[in-house]
Every structure is written in C-alpha cells, then in structure tokens.
Amino acid sequence: MIKIGKKFLFQLRENLKKEKGELEEELKRFAKKDEKLEGNWETRFPYFGEESGGGILEKAADEVEKYSALLPIEYSLELKLREINLALKRIKKGKYGICEKCRKPIEAERLRAFPEAKICSKCLKPR
Ligand SMILES: [Zn+2]
C-alpha cells in the first residue's frame, strides 16, 4: 500500500494544482484550449492584421517563423500539463505514488521533486 502521509499527499496535490495553473497561464499566452479534446492545446496562428501593402509578405514570414518556434514549446508544456492532470487523477483515485513498472511505492524524495512522476527512480535508471 501507499506509504505517503495524508499531509504530504495534500501538499503534493497543492503543488500540482499550482503548477497546473502556471502551465495553463503560460499556454494561454499563445495557444487556445481545445474544447473538444481534453488536455489538448492549439497554438494560435499569429494574426496578420488588416494592413496591406509591401511589408505584408515579409511580416507573414516572420510570423510563420514565430509560429514554428512556438510549436515545440506548446508541445512540451502540453505534455507536462497532461502528466500533471494524470497525477491529480491518480490522487483522486487513491492510486498515487505507485510505480507503473514495478508496482512499488515511488520514493517520497522523488515525488517531492517530481510530483507527476509515474515510475520510481530505480525503474527510471537503466540497469
Ligand atoms: Zn519501479
């Protein structure tokens, strides 16, 4: 069974929630939440504006570049957010803190550093 104290678990849950909020804020700056697919975010394509004239193509190229630069950032933030949501779900179900590989409790120290951890540090390290 899980050997995590209630107080510790509560603290971890608070940390996860806080991190979740921060990640969502970060994502909101350039991406839009996908209402149809939970946990999915779409990077907004930059808005080119109404202006016409010579500079528009050049400007568009800049925006495309910006957009491409944002995609991997969005991807990694989204991935992390997904892990956090899964960790919160595991807490809810009372299945938090169990290694997915060896089914043993994950070390408290590791959970403190990575509350979204799914595997223990033994399984994390290659033999
Ligand atoms: Zn393990």
Q: Residue 99's Cα: distance from chain center in Å?
A: 19
Please report the pLDDT score of residue 61 as a whole number: 84
| R_g (Cα) of the chain, nearest Å | 20
> What predicted TM-score, i.e. pTM, was given to this entire model?
0.79
Ligand 1 centroid, distance to 94 Cα (angstroms): 18
- A 10 A CB-CB count for 54 gives 7
In a domain, 13, yes or no: yes
Band of pLDDT at residue 3, cut at 50, 70 and 90: low
Domain count, the chain: 1
Band of pLDDT at residue 100, cut at 50, 70 and 90: very high
Ligand 1 centroid, distance to 52 Cα (angstroms): 59
pLDDT, one tens digit per residue, over 61-98 is 888 888 899 999 999 999 999 999 999 999 999 989 99
Look at the block and give the residue holding tokens 């956090």: 84
Residue 42 DSSP symbol: E
Q: Is the pLDDT of residue 12 over 50?
A: yes
Ligand 1 centroid, distance to 23 Cα (angstroms): 27
Instruction: List the CATH number of the domain containing 39.
Output: 1.20.120
Look at the block and give the residue holding tokens 């179900």: 93
Ligand 1 centroid, distance to 8 Cα (angstroms): 20
Residues 6 or more apart whose Cβ sits within 8 Å of residue 125: none
Q: Give start and end residues of each alpha helix (H) in the chain.
A: 6-28, 56-93, 108-113, 121-124
In a domain, 43, yes or no: yes
- The whole domain housing 91 covers 6-124
Ligand 1 centroid, distance to 44 Cα (angstroms): 39
In a domain, 114, yes or no: yes
Ligand 1 centroid, distance to 80 Cα (angstroms): 20
Please report the pLDDT score of residue 81 as a whole number: 95
Ligand 1 centroid, distance to 1 Cα (angstroms): 14
In a domain, 1, yes or no: no
Burial track 14-52 (b if 16+ CB lie within 10 A, e otherwise): ebbeebbeebeeebeebbeeeeeeeeebebeebeeeeee
